[in-house]
Structure 1
């Protein structure tokens, strides 16, 4: 299968590229600059590198990029710098999600394309009655006021929930919500839940970026796993931190 990844040069996106290449999938990536990509990627015939700012691409260009893809994954996020958090584009994740989905719809694929959004456990799934304490609601309210990337993550997931929904002809989706991201070198055991099993604010667990990448790569390649989670916002924890 062929998978398009936005945000492939990021800490988690790069792990996803590696997992898909290990699985012998064909991969397209959109990156602003290819110069810092690993050397082993540059001569890999399974990998196509598109050098561009995704929000600067025209509608026709995006439609051409997605037209031969079976799945699209967004690992986009904001850099943890003052400019990355408070500068433009403030709606990077939301706008990229909308534009990629619109490009898929414009192409009118013969079968539904899988769309995976990397999100956050701090964002609740409003399709479910996820219990949130009053204290956590207060903190989330402050995050919405003070941290534009949090609102961006919420609105991107809400677009999939409310605009794409559960019965779109051309797009099926999953929004993966990792808790407390950490760096590890190899895949370990992890668990997936429909909703958080602990407070993302006051009792956060941990999950390695490579585990998140492994789960997302399985989602796009394993139809049974996809059927289990499509239209949902699963939360992922490394097993050592989920209890």
Structure 2
């Protein structure tokens, strides 16, 4: 398979790329600085690097780059700095998601291209009317107003959910929702649920970035896709589930 990965130089993006390479797939990545990549990725024979800002690529160039790709994965996110939180581009994830989907549709692929978007457990899936407490609604509403990255994540997921939808002939999608992200060296046991089993605000669980990368790679490369396509699964480390207080 050939997989296009946006956000490949990020903490989770690097781990996803390595998981795909471990699986034997070829990976096409777009990064602003190739030197931000570890040598195991930068020098790998199955990695094709496009050095650019994804939003600066023309529609025609991006269509060429995603042509022939079986799947697209986005691990894009905002840097946790003042500039990253409040500077431009404020809709990095949404604009990149829209741009990539338009590139796929421009190519009119013979079979639907898989699109996996990394998101957050703080984003509700309105398709299944997930219920949250009034307190969480208030806090999430404030985050939406005060922190542009949260609103950006929400809009990106909703673009796939409402604009691409469930019956698009060119694109099938999954939005992966981890909870509080941590770093771990190895893939561990994790659980997947259709909806959060904990409050992302008041009783957050934990999800290791390497488990997110592993799950995203499994979605793309295995029959797991058929189970989760068109949905927004939530991923927790197994010990986070065992310690949950629902």
Q: Hey, what's the Cα distance between the residues in 2 that align with 1:173 and 1:163? A: 11
Aligned length: 242
Q: Hey, what's the Cα distance between the residues in 2 that align with 1:19 and 1:113? A: 19
- Residue 106 (structure 2) pairs with residue 106 (structure 1): yes
The residue correspondences of 1:2-81 to structure 2 (distance < 5 A) are 2-81=2-81
- Residue 133 (structure 2) pairs with residue 164 (structure 1): no
**Segments of 4+ moved more than 6 angstroms:** none
Give the match for residue 84 of structure 1. Answer: 84
Name the SS of the counterpart of 1:115 in structure 2.
strand
Give the match for residue 239 of structure 2. Answer: 240
What runs of 5+ residues in structure 1 fail to find an aligned partner?
none
Name the SS of the counterpart of 1:40 in structure 2.
helix
Q: Cα distance, 1:149 vs. partner?
A: 0.4
What runs of 5+ residues in structure 2 fail to find an aligned partner?
none
Q: Hey, what's the Cα distance between the residues in 2 that align with 1:138 and 1:41? A: 42
Q: Hey, what's the Cα distance between the residues in 2 that align with 1:231 and 1:36? A: 33
Q: Hey, what's the Cα distance between the residues in 2 that align with 1:52 and 1:169? A: 29
Q: Hey, what's the Cα distance between the residues in 2 that align with 1:97 and 1:238? A: 27
Q: Cα distance, 1:41 vs. partner?
A: 2.1
The TM-score normalised by the length of structure 1 is 0.99
- Residue 215 (structure 2) pairs with residue 229 (structure 1): no
Give the match for residue 154 of structure 1. Answer: 154
Q: Hey, what's the Cα distance between the residues in 2 that align with 1:23 and 1:4? A: 15
Q: Cα distance, 1:36 vs. partner?
A: 2.2
The TM-score normalised by the length of structure 2 is 0.97
Give the match for residue 187 of structure 2. Answer: 187
| 1:203-230, Cα deviation, whole Å (9 max, x unpaired) | 00001000000000000000x2100000
| 1:70-104, Cα deviation, whole Å (9 max, x unpaired) | 00000000000000000000000000000000000
Q: Hey, what's the Cα distance between the residues in 2 that align with 1:209 and 1:42? A: 20
| 1:146-199, Cα deviation, whole Å (9 max, x unpaired) | 100000000000000000000000000000000010000000000000000010
